Each structure stands twice: as C-alpha cells, then as structure tokens.
Amino acid sequence: MDKRISIAFSLVLFILAILVIRLWHLQIIKGSEYKRLDERNRSRVIDIIAPRGVIYDRNGNPLVKNVLSFNVSMVSEDMPKDAETLAELGRLVGLETEQLIKLAKASTSPYENIYLMRDASFEEVAKVEARKIDFPGLQVEVSSSRGYLYGQTAAHVLGYLGIPTQKQLESPEYSGIPKQAFIGQFGIEKRYDRILRGIAGKKVVEVDALGNMIRSVRIQKPVRGKDLTLTIDVNVQMEAEKALQDKTGAVVAIKADTGEVLALASAPSFDPNLFVGGISYDHWKMLIEDSRKPLMNRAIQNQYPPGSTFKTVTALSALEKGIIDEDTTFFCGGSLFFGRTFRCWKDGGHGRVSLHRAIVESCDVYFYEVGKRIGIDTLAQYASAFGLGTPTDIELDGEASGIVPSTAWKLRTKKEKWYQGETLNTVIGQGYLTVTPIQMARLMAAAVNGGKLFKPHLVHGEHEGAEYKIAADIRPEYTEFVKKALLGVVYEGGGTARAARSDIVSIGGKTGTAQVIGGAVKEKDLPDHYKDHAWFTAFAPEYKPEIAVSVFVEHGGHGGSAAAPIARKVIEAHFNPPKPEEEMENAQVPEAVKQEEQVTTVQQQDGNTQSRESAGD
C-alpha cells in the first residue's frame, strides 16, 4: 500500500508540474499579450464632441446657440425581459411595449445603444434619473445640439443638424466624426460643417465590466468649431419673412455693390429647432407631406418664368444691339398678330408708347415688336450674361439653374427648330424661359450697378473684394435710361408698381406677372393654383443703388399688388433698422435655448451598486 501511496504522490507532483508549466506559459510567455488584453478590457474611448461654431448675422447677432441635448438610451442586452418591466419602462420613456421590442430587434449587436428618448426635457431627464435604479443599464447621455434663436427665421439659410447617415460616416469628408455627433444636414450648417464642427476630442477612461466610469486616463481636448458671420441682416430677413407670411414664395435681397445676401427667405418655412436632438417621426412626416413643401428653398431651388421682370433684359439688349433707341415708339392696340394673336395685358391697349412708357406701364405689345426684330440667340446671349441659365453658386445646396432658351437649346432638348413666334413669348418672360428668385435679384443689381454681376454669397469675409464679372458691355446711357424707367414704374402715373412707393427711400423696379396657364382666361376666374405668379424686382436708392431685391409670390396674382409691397417693406427694413428695444421684442428667443451650455458628451456615470453573486455559504 505504501507503494501505491508513493505512486499517488508522484502523480500529484506530475500534475503540479503541468500546472506550473501552464502558469509559466500564461504569465511569462504570453504575459505581455494578456497585459494588453487586460488594458483593452478596461479602456474605453469616449468622444468629446467639440462645441460647434456659432453663426452670426452681419451685425454680430448670434443666430444659433449650442445647447445640451439629453438622450436616454439602453443597450438591448439590458432591456427588461419580462413584459411587466418592459411596459413599466415604456411608460417611463413614453413608448409602447411593441415600439420597445421593435427598437430592440432593430439593433445589430446586443451592446449597441438603443435610443429610447431623444432630446428629452429637463423634467423627463429628472424622471428617468429617479427611476434609473429600477432599470439597470438605462442611461442618460448628454450631447450637444443646436438652438436656433430666431425660430423659423432664415431656416433655409441656416439649415439644421441631423444624425450622420451611414454613407456620410463612410465618406472622407466626415472622417473622424463621432458616431453620435450631429452634423449639418441642410443649409449653411451642412455646407460649412467642416468649419463649424471643429475637431472632436477623445477621452480614454477606465471602466468596469458594467461600463461604470472609474477614472479618466487621458484627455485630448476638442477644438471648438470656427464661428461664421453671415452677410444676412437678421432684421431685413425677419421683415422679409413677415411680409411673406401666409404666402408661398421667396424674397432675396442682396447688396447691389457686393453681392452680399442681406436676406434670403422662402415661405412657407419650418422651425429648425424641431431637428434639435433628432427630429421626431411625426414632425418629419408633417414637413415632408405638406403640399406646400416647407423644406424647399424657393429662393434657389425652384425655377419659374420671370414674366415682365425680364423686360429689363429685353430692353437693354435691344438698345445695345441698336434694334431700338430711346425714342423708338410702337403702337399698342391691345394685341399683335404674328402667326397668332399675342395679347397685351391691357385689353384696350396703351396706344402709341415709347420705351420708357412701355417699361413703366409694362406694355407687352411694345416688346412683341422688339421680339419681331431681335434674334432669340442675341437675347439668350444677354440673358446668360446677366447670369440666367446658370446657378449663382451661392453657398447652399440644390440650386436650380433655370432655362435660357436658344435655337441650340431647343434643338438639343426638343429636337425642333426655333420659331420666331416663340421669341415673342420670351421677350416678355414667358415660354421656355425660367429663372430663380436669386438670379433675378442679382440681375437687378447688375442692371443698376453698371453691369457688375456679383457672385451672391452668404458668408461674410469669404469673398473680400467681391468677385464679379462684367455682365454685358452696355453703354452707360442705356443703363441710366432703363434705370430711370424702372423708377418710373414706381413713381410715375400709370406705373405698375405704385404700391412700392416708400417715404424714406427712392425705389425703382419692375413688376412681373407670370402666367401659369396660357390663353385669354381672366385671371380672377381661376382657382388658386392656376393663378399667375407675382414678381417684383427692385433696387434702392436711386443714386448709387445699395440694395437689389427680388420678390416672388407663387400664384400671388399681379406683381404690382402682391409682390411690390413686400419689396418695399424689405427695402425699408434695410434703410431704417429697428431701434434696439424693438429688436428685443422681435427676436423671439425660444425658452428652451436660453440655457446655453458648454458642450461635451460624456456617458453619465451610473453609481448603481450591483449586487454580487456569492457562491459560498
């Protein structure tokens, strides 16, 4: 038996030797590898989102602020498994049980964060914090978001933030942005995202197995995004939007001598604050399904026939080409026959009219006569030189180019030759010709500033010395002549834009009433959506024009009555800025964005004491 005991002890020694060899293997041979694994176990890299650059208007008024946004999240692994607790959780975060299950199923990994609440209010956060202990794994994340101080004002210019799409995350333009960051998805916020977003910082923290933060190891501070000053004047912008209220349309006001955009409004508008912390499905649906398309920026994204506002171009090109001179007169009998009958807007006709009167009273027959004599390609050349038919390259996405028809254009797109009759439509801004409101504002500026075609721009300081090209080589006496006529439109008897008369500044301009459907149907008999589009392009003051404005009202009816008063209000807002007190009243700062905060996101620590399992006693 002693022998067997010895054998047993030898076996023990043998097995112990194996254990020691294994220990040696783990601790000495693979020790450094396991040390790395051990550190990786504990280290988590947390992104610190950089405070986003603030956007100011030209007078230094902040238009946006950075705000804290609270998101309530949980990983699907931690979701309650029993129906009762799940329903309880649903009540806390305001979701149905089925919605919770759907969210959990949508996650790709058990450790992926599921957002139960985005942009929760302080009250909601307090409620969640109070019940956190009942739902292990429930956490409140803080992230930075935007507050748009003026609500809907300049929404189409400023844009909004949103969660990056998968495609954006993969593109080099957005490399290095934290997954949970909000990035610009529209407007200036999108175009200048790279500048505004700054550089996200990183924080290496030690966490325990439950994700509780124990201590931070290393911090790489975020670099704040650069501020941006816009050329927009928030007072002019607000006035433009107020004037457009309840209408569908657009207003663009630019500085005639630099191309700086003072106001760019599109109605109906939307409140970009809805997008803060992620837009809710209901709100998004509402915006998308609205037949008036509030998300569309009508100032640049839609193209319309310019109507009589185009007569400025027709007049200038006909003068320069010698087709007519300042004294040329034609007889208007209310219509003109050229293959078919072309009607003047005034049934009885204007009688014998000069060019000056033709512009003032917007006589169509006069311009038909010009159209009989001018080639479409000559007209197209001047129209293009005034910036029509190509995007203005303003710093916003989705700009439309408009159409400047020509013989080549018709052959290319319609596979048909051009008929001179179509030129008669084109000279009065109808037919194939389409433009965007911003193109018309720029055209107006170029017509009165000596032919300088500026690149309209929204960001101040980016275009120092203002880029421009000479629109068309038109003799100064002709531009002066047309300018006088444009003033006459507002101030002379029979002028079509007498509604634009202002007490504080001299305004000139050209009305336009673009037909939606052709023919001789009387406008007042038409349903709203067949009504004419109303245009007014204006400048002020008479000498050294400072501002050029284009106003477009969709189905607004007559340019003189629907569009001209809006232009007047915008121009007056520019020349007569509100006093500081008024400004305070006008700026409706939403309550929620008042609490401006410094901005970092760190996962909230949760101090839940987890009960330990004990296998002993």
Partner 1 sequence: MIDRRLIRDFDWGLLAAAVMLSLIGVMTIYSSTRPLLDMQQESFYLKQLNWIILSLVCSSLVLAIDYRWFTRFAYIFYIIGIILLVFVLIAGRTGMGAKRWISLGFFSFQPSEFFKIFFIATLTRYLSGLDQDLNLGLRELLKITAGFFLLPSLLILKQPDLGTMLILLFVFTAMILTAGIKKKIVVTALVIGLAVSPLVGKIFWGGLKDYQKNRIIAFIDPQADPKGIGYHITQSKVSIGAGGFIGKGYLKGTQGPYRFLPENHTDFIFSIFAEEWGFLGSIVLFGFYLFIIWRGFDAARSARDPEGRMLALGVTYMFTFYFIINVGMTLGLLPVVGVPLPLMSYGGTALLSNFLALSVIENVRMRRFASYY
Residues labelled as active-site residues: 308
Taking the complex as a whole, the smallest distance from the CB of residue 49 to partner 1 amounts, in Å, to 25
Taking the complex as a whole, the smallest distance from the CB of residue 26 to partner 1 amounts, in Å, to 5
H-helix or E-strand containing 477?
A: helix 476-491
Taking the complex as a whole, the smallest distance from the CB of residue 397 to partner 1 amounts, in Å, to 43
Site for partner 1 in 16-75 (CB under 8 A): 16, 18-20, 22-24, 26-28, 30-35, 37-38, 41-42
**Residue 172 vs residues 13, 46, 176, 194: alpha-carbon distances, Å:** 61, 21, 9, 11
Taking the complex as a whole, the smallest distance from the CB of residue 12 to partner 1 amounts, in Å, to 6
How many CB atoms lie under 10 A from the CB of residue 586? 15
Cα distance between residue 344 and residue 350, in whole Å: 9
- The count of chain residues that interact with partner 1, using the rule CB under 8 A, is 47
Give the amino acid at 163. Answer: I
Residue 466 has φ and ψ, to the nearest 5°, of 40, 110
Taking the complex as a whole, the smallest distance from the CB of residue 17 to partner 1 amounts, in Å, to 10
Could you say whether residue 613 binds partner 1 (CB under 8 A)? yes
Could you say whether residue 610 binds partner 1 (CB under 8 A)? yes
Nearer to partner 1 by Cβ, of 32 and 291: the residue is 32
Give the amino acid at 199. Answer: I
Nearer to partner 1 by Cβ, of 522 and 612: the residue is 612
Q: Residue 273: is it exposed, middle or buried by C-beta count within 10 angstroms (0-12/13-18/19+)?
A: buried
Taking the complex as a whole, the smallest distance from the CB of residue 15 to partner 1 amounts, in Å, to 6
Taking the complex as a whole, the smallest distance from the CB of residue 281 to partner 1 amounts, in Å, to 32
Stretch that binds partner 1, among 10-18, 434-442, 458-466, 509-517 (CB under 8 A): 10-18
Nearer to partner 1 by Cβ, of 291 and 609: the residue is 609
Question: By the 8 A CB rule, do 282 and 312 touch?
Answer: no
Site for partner 1 in 171-210 (CB under 8 A): 206-210
From candidates 45, 106, 130, 214, binder to partner 1 by CB under 8 A: 214
From candidates 2, 82, 84, 464, binder to partner 1 by CB under 8 A: 2
Could you say whether residue 617 binds partner 1 (CB under 8 A)? yes
From candidates 97, 107, 212, 420, binder to partner 1 by CB under 8 A: 212
Taking the complex as a whole, the smallest distance from the CB of residue 616 to partner 1 amounts, in Å, to 3
Nearer to partner 1 by Cβ, of 23 and 521: the residue is 23
Question: By the 8 A CB rule, do 267 and 249 touch?
Answer: yes
Which tokens in the block code for residue 546?
């400072």
Nearer to partner 1 by Cβ, of 6 and 390: the residue is 6
Stretch that binds partner 1, among 9-17, 259-267, 303-311, 446-454 (CB under 8 A): 9-17
> Of 340, 49, 310, 326, which Cα lies nearest the Cα of 182?
49
Nearer to partner 1 by Cβ, of 2 and 525: the residue is 2
Cα distance between residue 100 and residue 111, in whole Å: 16
> Of 283, 262, 253, 282, which Cα lies nearest the Cα of 271?
283
Residue 142 has φ and ψ, to the nearest 5°, of -110, 130
Nearer to partner 1 by Cβ, of 13 and 517: the residue is 13
Nearer to partner 1 by Cβ, of 25 and 594: the residue is 25
Nearer to partner 1 by Cβ, of 598 and 609: the residue is 609
Site for partner 1 in 532-551 (CB under 8 A): none
Could you say whether residue 107 binds partner 1 (CB under 8 A)? no
With b meaning 16 or more CB within 10 Å and e meaning fewer, what string describes 8-17? eeeeeeeeee
**Residue 107 vs residues 46, 221, 602: alpha-carbon distances, Å:** 20, 31, 22
**Residue 317, SS3 per DSSP:** helix
Half-sphere CA count of 242, side-chain side, radius 13 A: 13
Taking the complex as a whole, the smallest distance from the CB of residue 216 to partner 1 amounts, in Å, to 13
Stretch that binds partner 1, among 2-10, 140-148, 285-293, 544-552 (CB under 8 A): 2-10
CA torsion sign for 439, 429, 505, 356 is positive
H-helix or E-strand containing 202?
A: strand 201-207
Site for partner 1 in 590-609 (CB under 8 A): 605, 607, 609
Cα distance between residue 390 and residue 379, in whole Å: 15
> Of 314, 304, 440, 315, which Cα lies nearest the Cα of 376?
314
> Of 136, 123, 438, 163, which Cα lies nearest the Cα of 279?
163
Could you say whether residue 4 binds partner 1 (CB under 8 A)? yes
**For the window 264-303, what string marks contact with partner 1 as x by the rule CB under 8 A?**
----------------------------------------
Strand runs labelled E in 121-200: 139-148, 161-162, 183-184
Cα distance between residue 312 and residue 31, in whole Å: 84
* Contact residues for partner 1, defined by CB under 8 A: 1-2, 4-5, 8-9, 12-13, 15-16, 18-20, 22-24, 26-28, 30-35, 37-38, 41-42, 111, 206-210, 212, 214, 605, 607, 609-610, 612-617
